[in-house]
Structure 1
């Protein structure tokens, strides 16, 4: 890493802050302690602070000069309902909850950036720091609720940016992608209804498990026969539930699907095909199917100009060797996509360490997020916060 990090910042204090957040994880829309901590620190730095946005969200605003230009930087605060298996000193003290996705790190990063921005004041315009609740909750999570409660009317932004740690890449490397970067994510619940009965007389029943099994196989033809091979899609069956006894044909069977795509048009086609396949497969066996199609996060699309500017900033500060400007898209999803539907901007990644490598500071082996053995890599704090401050100065620099 080529950057010289701000020596006026007590980086050890932000490591301690991150670990404090890790000890006290809070699930979506329950981030009361985290929100108070964020609000108190922003006020101490001179920001105007609004609390209670989307329940537990916090927005800190700092103005400097007389320019009308505005930037929004977003961090998520919520944890996951996972029992932590690490044995670090700062492991979760809340049973059944942990920061298994690094949102403790994201919060600490933006607070460190808040200090750099406030102390240097090398900008002309308005900075909105958006601390969002409930990123992990799906389509009805924090970003959507903040927008519905007037986020961008109350805190206008010309562009908005967010960052997520990315295990699998060296710590501190920056990854970008213009256009569609993360997939939409939908949950589908299909209930097949038939007529149960004794397993010894199947001809007197309408077996919903046969209809469900046939639909499972037919659903796999969507990707192979209905969607352009150049369009990436996922149709995965996560649960299959039917019956409670080996000698009883049940009345119903239930499937739950995860459906992902990179195009709104393809997303619509997936829904139409899933509904048709499940309904007609059930009908062919004399059963019926009820399809509950739940739209989650939309496709996350980074706008061209904002992505190119972010790449340029990262190259200037950290060197081209630490910047990947055209990383592969991800089939995962992210509710920052809602904000990018409202305003131009860029969602970027910062490497959190090579998976399987041992962290010299903790002795933990780096693993993927949403894992009980995951921990955020504190080596990312300084480069990520430095990037946020540099991006702010680049976009709102004196004209």
Structure 2
């Protein structure tokens, strides 16, 4: 039996154990940078496998090591651990026990998959030439991102430059398939917080007011010029406002309006220019209408770049493991991921793991109250990640 066959056999053998792990994590979600119980649970699972070289990183994260039989290269495999502030609506036995907190982005599946991968690699460590670093990272969902904190840790910095591999569940891909994109794959993301100030009062006397609601409406519409008329058509950009609070009433105009949104792109220079233009635009509109606007920007993740050579190699390896029909090419995605920090400094491959299943009714999108996965994806995800690690290191 060759190494690939060993991995496939072990993935199938151990998968039920890690379906249970995923369900435990799903039932006990914790928000970003609060993953204390999750961290302790994952550490116990690693120790049960036999892995004892485990360092704490970013307070609630872990960096574990599996050494192969012979010295050689090193590859890092990453999973994230945090959940979202969402109230779960799934009627399943493993639904969240923590009201208002849910693994709606699949980080429970990422961690369970990497644990399965760890058990497989531990079983075949005599076949490995080199070291595997297993990174269980906190705080992916919240700026500044757990990745940026991990990268400040001495345990991480001592690794130097090395290949980084990560995967993310994708319900739009059917279970059994994985997707790859070379080059620029995911967008940068900056959070926008606008406070528009005017002079509120009775809705029947507009002449005595400076209406911040009206100002806000002009700002929301005009700000789209950033994308439609200021950005090059060759530079993908998305400006979205998802929260508007005008806390008045049917006949009361408030003094202030608050707007929150995000700006995303793939170009570092345009990102900087666009945010400067946005600040000038919203300020001038508000002042021109007699009010004022303060724009606060939380600078978020950079854009994620998949190393072309590594990604093509990993796609070829995925074809070897899953077959040519099950490793597909993807278009760039405007979502953001803090794995991007690693990709700016290291050769990286971040790919998508199909978890959707129309026949089972598993089709809800990421960050929704009914998100779930086809758990058959765990066997595929854990086994494939082990195989990708092996292909990076070589084997005896």
Structures share fold, TM-score greater than 0.5: yes
Q: Which of 347, 351, 355 is the equivalent residue of 2:354?
A: 351
Runs of 4 or more, structure 1, over 4 Å off, are none
- Cα deviation per residue 1:43-87 (whole Å; 9 max; x = unaligned)? 233323334311110111011244341100001111112111111
Alignment correspondent of 2:340 = 337
Question: For 2:252 and 2:20, how far apart are their aligned partners in 1?
Answer: 58
CA distance in 2 between counterparts of 1:204 and 1:37 reads 61
Q: Is the 8 A contact 1:71 1:126 kept in 2?
A: yes
Q: Which residue of structure 2 aligns with residue 393 of structure 1?
A: 390
Matches within 5 A, 1:273-288: 273-288=277-292
Cα distance in 2 between the residues matched to 1:173 and 1:375: 17
Verify: 1:27 aligned to 2:24, yes or no: no
1:199–1:398 distance in 2 versus 1, CA, 3 Å: closer
Cα separation, partners in 2 of 1:96 and 1:66, compared to 1, 3 Å = same
1:92-131 deviations in whole A, cap 9, x for unaligned? Answer: 1222112111111111111111111111122211110000
Tell me, yes or no, if the aligned pair for 2:72 and 2:393 is still in contact at 8 Å.
no
Q: What pairs up with 1:1-399 in 2 under 5 angstroms?
A: 5-7=8-10, 9-121=13-125, 122-137=127-142, 139-156=143-160, 158-324=162-328, 326-354=329-357, 357-359=358-360, 364-398=361-395
RMSD of Structure 2 on Structure 1 (CA):
2.0
TM-score normalised by L of structure 1:
0.92
- In 1, Cα distance between the equivalents of 2:297 and 2:62? 32
Name the SS of the counterpart of 1:260 in structure 2.
Answer: strand
- 8 Å contact 1:172–1:380 — kept in the other structure? yes
Q: 1:316 Cα shift? A: 1.2
Taking the aligned partners of 2:68 and 2:55, their CA distance within structure 1 comes to 22
Indicate if the aligned counterparts of 1:72 and 1:157 stay in contact, CA closer than 8 A: no
Q: Structure 1, residues 343-378: CA drift from partner, whole Å, max 9, x if none? A: 111100011114xx132xxxx432112111121221
1:244/1:283 Cα in 2 relative to 1: closer, same or farther (>3 Å)?
same
Contact 2:14-2:116 at 8 Å conserved across structures = no
TM-score, scaled to structure 2? 0.92
| Structure 2: gaps of 5 or more residues | none
CA 48–306 in structure 1, closer or farther in 2 if over 3 Å, else same: farther
SS in 2 for 1:352: strand
What is the CA–CA distance in structure 2 between the aligned matches of 1:289 and 1:250, rounded to whole Å?
A: 14
Q: Is the 8 A contact 1:15 1:381 kept in 2?
A: yes
In terms of mean alpha carbon deviation, does 198-207 or 104-113 score higher? 198-207
Q: How many residues align?
A: 390
- The structure-2 alpha-carbon separation of the partners of 1:277 and 1:127, relative to structure 1 and needing over 3 Å to count, comes to same
How far off is 1:336 after superposition?
0.7
Alignment CA distance shift 1:7-1:123 (3 Å): closer
CA 1:128–1:198: 2 relative to 1, 3 Å: same
> Secondary structure at 1:62's aligned position in 2?
strand
List per-residue Cα deviations over 1:166-202 (Å, max 9, x = no partner): 1111102110001111111111111122233444443
Offset from partner CA, 1:240-283 (integer Å, 9 cap, x none): 22242343443222221221112212212220221111011112
Task: In structure 1, list runs of 5 or more residues that go unmatched.
Answer: none
How far does residue 156 in structure 1 lie from its aligned partner after superposition?
4.0
SS at match of 1:145: helix
CA contact 1:67–1:125 (8 Å) conserved in 2: yes
Cα distance change of structure 1 residues 224 and 284 upon mapping to structure 2, 3 Å threshold: same
